[in-house]
Amino acid sequence: MGKEKNPRRVADNEAMAKLRMLRTSPQKLNLVAGLIRGKKVDKALTALTFSNKRIAEDVKKCLQSAIANAENNHNLDVDELVVAEAYVGKNLVMKRGRPRARGRFGALRKPFSELTIKVREIEEQA
């Protein structure tokens, strides 16, 4: 008996990885995600390795997870993978503050974001 298998959320030639609670603003994360959209995975990994952005290391880890999911869980060829989608979402915002002059309170927002990367296998055109 038991439960039925969940349907796949992505197509048969795709794999996905999601990273939640990244301690950066979605706007900054989207700049790094824009570096890898539409590129082959080896070029995307190279771009993330040599990026000066602090969050690029976490994005690289998520991309490597998506590649590993494609290879191990869905039997896709790693050499044919392309970053099909890389999109960013908002997560919680920690509200902190610090005292300012004349008894006021300066609000500090510490945003979190989440990242979803989908890789797709494309066949070579001959």
Please state, in angstroms and rounded to a whole number, the distance separating the CA atoms of residues 43 and 62.
Answer: 15
Query: pTM here?
Result: 0.90
32 is a domain residue: yes
Domain containing residue 92:
14-121
Rg, Å, the chain Cα set: 19
How would you classify the pairing of strands 81-99 and 14-22?
Answer: unpaired
- Domain assignment present for residue 8? The answer is no
Number of domains in the chain: 1
- State the pLDDT confidence band at 125, using cuts at 50, 70 and 90: low
Is residue 2 in some structural domain?
Answer: no
Overall average pLDDT of the 60-89 stretch? 95
Does the pLDDT at position 26 exceed 70?
yes
Residue 95, beta-bridge partner list: 109
Question: The domain that contains 54 carries what CATH number?
Answer: 3.90.470.10
- Residue 115, both tokens: 């990242």
| pLDDT, position 5 | 84
Q: Is residue 4 part of a domain?
A: no
Q: Is residue 114 part of a domain?
A: yes
Q: Are 79 and 43 in contact (CB under 8 A)?
A: no
pLDDT for the residue numbered 7 = 86
**pLDDT, averaged across the chain:** 94
19 within a domain of the structure (yes/no): yes
Domain for residue 51, yes or no? yes
Does residue 77 sit within a domain?
yes
pLDDT at 78 over 90: yes
Look at residue 6 in the predicted model and tell me its pLDDT: 86
Q: What is the mean pLDDT of residues 1-6?
A: 82
